[in-house]
Amino acid sequence: MTRKWILGGLAALLLSPLALAEPSDREVQQAMKRDFRAKGQAGMERLEQDGVQRICTATSNKPPAELAKQLEADQMKSIVYPSGSLMGDWRNGAKIAWGGRGMQWHEDPKKPADGGCYNCHEISPQRTSAGTIGPSLRAFGKKRGNGMEMQRYVYGKIYNAKAYNLCSDMPRFGPTGSLTEQQIKDVTAYLLDPTSPVNK
């Protein structure tokens, strides 16, 4: 075989419709179920999508506006607001935002988890490591204030981001039990408290 023939055959294969076709949702699910192994707290149920996730997947995160509005309203009903101030201790909130503990197969599911917020957001000027999936949260409270309306927004967004944007990549920390009420209050304070490093 000549080099020219090999390169020509390779180019033909790579440019064929079969090579360019993306796998279907069903094929992806089948591959995940075939290759994923349940271990510890990471069970097979993690591969199952709920109704909202299925709609977002089926529409490539662009569901019809009216349907998205209706489902966001349903998600909003899942948010449970505690009475009084929604801001806890920002120092604990910082630990939760920058921690990566919890939800992994080898960890104790009875112990509290962290939020791992830095994986998706730039948060504080004191920390340079940050993801870019979500918007920057630097000076969040300084720019938006920390009144009760903003507290409710931040608490609600952490609790269930899909109530505000149906196909948000942000986890639903409240409904899944990933974070407790107090932890969500602490992260809310981390973002809004004027003395928090986020707002310096």
The residue extents of the domains of the chain are 3-68, 90-199
C-beta contacts of 85-89 below 8 A and 24+ residues apart: 85/151, 85/185, 86/148, 86/151, 86/152, 86/154, 86/155, 86/185, 86/188, 87/146, 87/151, 87/185, 87/188, 87/189, 87/192, 87/193, 88/182, 88/183, 88/185, 88/186, 88/188, 88/189, 89/186, 89/189
The whole-model pTM stands at: 0.83
Q: Residue 105 CA to chain centroid, in angstroms?
A: 18
Which residue bears the tokens 């730039």?
122
Q: Are 88 and 189 in contact (CB under 8 A)?
A: yes
Instruction: Check residue 32 and give its pLDDT.
Output: 85
Residue-level pLDDT, tens digit, the chain, 200 residues: 555 555 555 555 555 555 567 888 788 888 888 988 888 888 888 888 899 999 999 999 999 999 999 999 999 999 999 998 999 999 999 999 999 888 888 888 888 889 999 999 999 887 777 888 999 999 999 999 999 999 999 999 999 999 999 999 999 999 999 999 999 999 999 999 999 999 99
Instruction: Check residue 54 and give its pLDDT.
Output: 93
Instruction: Check residue 110 and give its pLDDT.
Output: 86
Instruction: Check residue 51 and give its pLDDT.
Output: 92
Which residues have CB under 8 Å from 58's CB, separation 6+? 25
Task: For 90-199, give the CATH class.
Answer: mainly alpha
